[in-house]
A and B are shown apart, each in its own frame.
Chain A
């Protein structure tokens, strides 16, 4: 039996009838049409589907859309505000923190939460906090640099 759900994504309210088995990532990509959130591994290792759900970074391939009923969601499409890149996005651009771009939205949202919780992380802390996000292109080297850049920028340094 289908269920009615209401969610707010990037500040916009949505309401749909969905099958209970519909994964949140499919809801975001195929029902709402925001395709910046990617699917990489299906088993919650790669983190390409990372979004913020009520302020917490989660892997939305391992969540049902019905579980998100009533939630506030931030996806990659909502990270830049008023046409201005977020410092993390800027960091990834400045420091070449991406190549094919596929893992990037998830990386940016994982970094988003990290810098909320720890505004001035050490390299080890950054690397530890990226353990839920896989990248096959960059070897993480420049992703670490990108997040360091963002941390500095956000601290106004």
Chain B
């Protein structure tokens, strides 16, 4: 497979990338890990006239504690997330989620920001980001703004990012010690995308609950019914079963048995 021709840009800074985006508009696509864009270009389903490679822009990757939150640079790879000792200690949900994405080679290239910005309805991070109550930091010509994850996913492959904005960081609020977190997914046997994936975060006292679901609709969603059914309850088997029954009505499964979309 052979992509169509395009012009390649490798800006040295976020600002330079933003101004390129402002100038080239819809003719341009951002390239980070490339594991969503390049297959589309090889199939010639995407034929951007310009590709803006942001992967080598310094300062956009890394995981650090920042004012009570954990800040993850957009270009941090899935492998860096999966193997981060900070995250293992403070937010094991993300390391667990990252470890289920694609395969080892894909995790070495694919990035957190790329995955969120692509907003694939079967991607894994969105469920975790929703459950954790994450925030997304976008940078545009007017500077940075923070978007709550609940406002970020707008629909199939669509986010709240403006055409001239770049996702630069993901911020995870701090959860109290003893918070339970898990991501479980039913992977498609071929693509390993989530046929359905559920991320759950529950504090030890059961007061604060976050549940995100991916794969089951055109975008990842917060399972508000489940959260409400669990909040403040003693987490015994009966309560969990009742909560599972209270799952929010979905738009129906997009995936069928032979096609992951």
Interface residues of A (CB under 8 A from B): 1, 3, 19-21, 23, 26, 42-45, 47, 50, 56-59, 61-64, 66-67, 110, 113-114, 129, 131-133
Contact = CB atoms under 8 A, between A and B. Distances in A.
Contacts of A19: 5
Nearest to A20: B8
Could you say which of B31, B39, B43, B79 has the most chain A C-beta atoms within 10 Å of its C-beta?
Answer: B39
A43 B51 contact: no
Interface range, B side: 20 to 34
B1 A21 contact: no
A120 to B, nearest CB: 17
B105 A44 contact: yes
Given A47-B103, A56-B108, A66-B10, 6 more contacts: A20-B5, A43-B39, A59-B106, A67-B55, A131-B104, A132-B106
B105 A58 contact: yes
Contact of A20 (B2, B51, B190): B51
Contact of B4 (A21, A44, A47): A21
Given A47-B103, A131-B103, A132-B106, A66 B8 contact: yes
A83 to B, nearest CB: 28
Contacts of B29: none
18 contacts: A19-B5, A23-B3, A43-B39, A43-B42, A44-B102, A44-B106, A47-B103, A50-B105, A56-B79, A56-B108, A64-B8, A67-B55, A110-B105, A129-B104, A131-B104, A131-B192, A132-B103, A132-B105
